[in-house]
Structure 1
Amino acid sequence: MFADPVVVERAEQPYVFMRRSVRMDGFAEIADRLPELIGWLAARDLAIADAPFFRYVTVDMASESLVEAGVPVAASSAPPEPEGDVGVALLPAGRYATLTHVGHPDRLLAAAQWLREWAGEKGLEWDMREVDGVERWGCRLESYRTDPRVEPDPSRWETELAFRLADRAP
């Protein structure tokens, strides 16, 4: 089940992340890092500003994709220092096409395809370029709005897709 897509303007957002190159059938390699990352923030008494997410830096469904497990941090506090596998960066400001998916994560690929088709019908262009069959995204996010410790039924989980749009020509 998908809500109607919308285009929203987003401000720059600091976040912490762990990055891995993964095959889609081995996505747990990066997904399993989210609890570790949240624990890292908690150990430093750093506030989480929003839902954890996966940022797709590159997408290559036939091979490996470069993916970040990320957690937004409060912009008002000083950013943490990178340490070990933990990096610190900013999600870029800009216009994003967004879609909320309610249901099992195994339907997210269909949700992403539907968002892309919707954007194509609206004449919207992505902040993405394809090089040798690999999509390189300016910012493509899956934000996990439901805490599985609170709602264990995956058919009720909410996931927001947010794909950055190309800047408009002046």
Structure 2
Amino acid sequence: MLSEPTIQRRGELHYLAIAETIQMQQIPDVLPPLIPVVKQYMEDRGIKAGGPDFFLYKSMARSGEMDCEAGFPVNEAVEGDGYIRAGAFPEGNYASIIYTGDFKDMMQAHIALENYIKEQGLVEKSATEGGRTEWGGRTEFYLVDPELEPNPEKWQTEIVFLLED
């Protein structure tokens, strides 16, 4: 199930995350185990999450190789340790849609949001060079924790894409 897409102006949002370069089909196996590592890092340093965990898709090559980050927003800029990296989602206009359901069917939400952006005459912030597309802010925020809600039909994910100004 999909919500109606929206456009929102968002301020800069700092985060802590672990970066990985993977193939698209590896997402379910590689990225989810990174979340507890980031969470433990934050707990050990008394850093509180400023929102739900996320996967940030930074770029993708034609081969399907993706640069991704998995982590948590934080309320202020903090330092990482090299493995855990500090970053920030830039201020800007974001297109957003909320997908409810099992993660395996989430691609339909990405496609719906891409289509909405085109229909509105807007453009996602991205650049393609040498067969690799870099996105400005293509992110999935996991609003419902599967460990707390075992029914995948109740899982909710907010998908956001940064737009060109």
The reply to whether TM is greater than 0.5 is yes
Distance 1:19 1:7 in 2: 27
Alignment of 1:8-47 (within 5 A): 8-27=8-27, 28-47=29-48
- Give the aligned partner of residue 96 of structure 1: 94
Distance 2:96 2:113 in 1: 8
Partner deviation per Cα, 1:66-98 (whole Å, 9 max, x = no partner): 0000210112xxx33221410111110100000
Q: CA deviation at 1:59?
A: 2.4
Does structure 1 residue 5 correspond to structure 2 residue 5?
yes
CA contact (8 A) 1:5 1:98 kept: yes
TM-score, reference length from structure 1: 0.91
Distance 1:3 1:133 in 2: 32
Distance 1:55 1:155 in 2: 23
Give the 3-state SS of the residue equivalent to 1:110 in structure 2.
Answer: helix
Give the 3-state SS of the residue equivalent to 1:31 in structure 2.
Answer: coil
- Give the aligned partner of residue 135 of structure 1: 133
Distance 2:163 2:144 in 1: 25
1:19–1:135 Cα change, 3 Å: same
Give RMSD over aligned pairs. 1.3
- Give the total of aligned pairs: 164
Among all aligned residue pairs of Structure 1 and Structure 2, give the percentage whose two residues are the same amino acid. 28
CA contact (8 A) 1:60 1:134 kept: yes
Which of structure 1's runs of 4+ aligned residues deviate more than 3 A? none
CA contact (8 A) 1:22 1:30 kept: no
Distance 1:60 1:6 in 2: 28
Partner deviation per Cα, 1:88-137 (whole Å, 9 max, x = no partner): 11110100000000001111111101110111111011111222332211
Distance 2:153 2:23 in 1: 24
CA contact (8 A) 2:18 2:85 kept: yes
Distance 2:115 2:84 in 1: 34
Alignment of 1:69-148 (within 5 A): 69-75=70-76, 79-148=77-146
Does structure 1 residue 55 correspond to structure 2 residue 56?
yes
Give the 3-state SS of the residue equivalent to 1:4 in structure 2.
Answer: coil
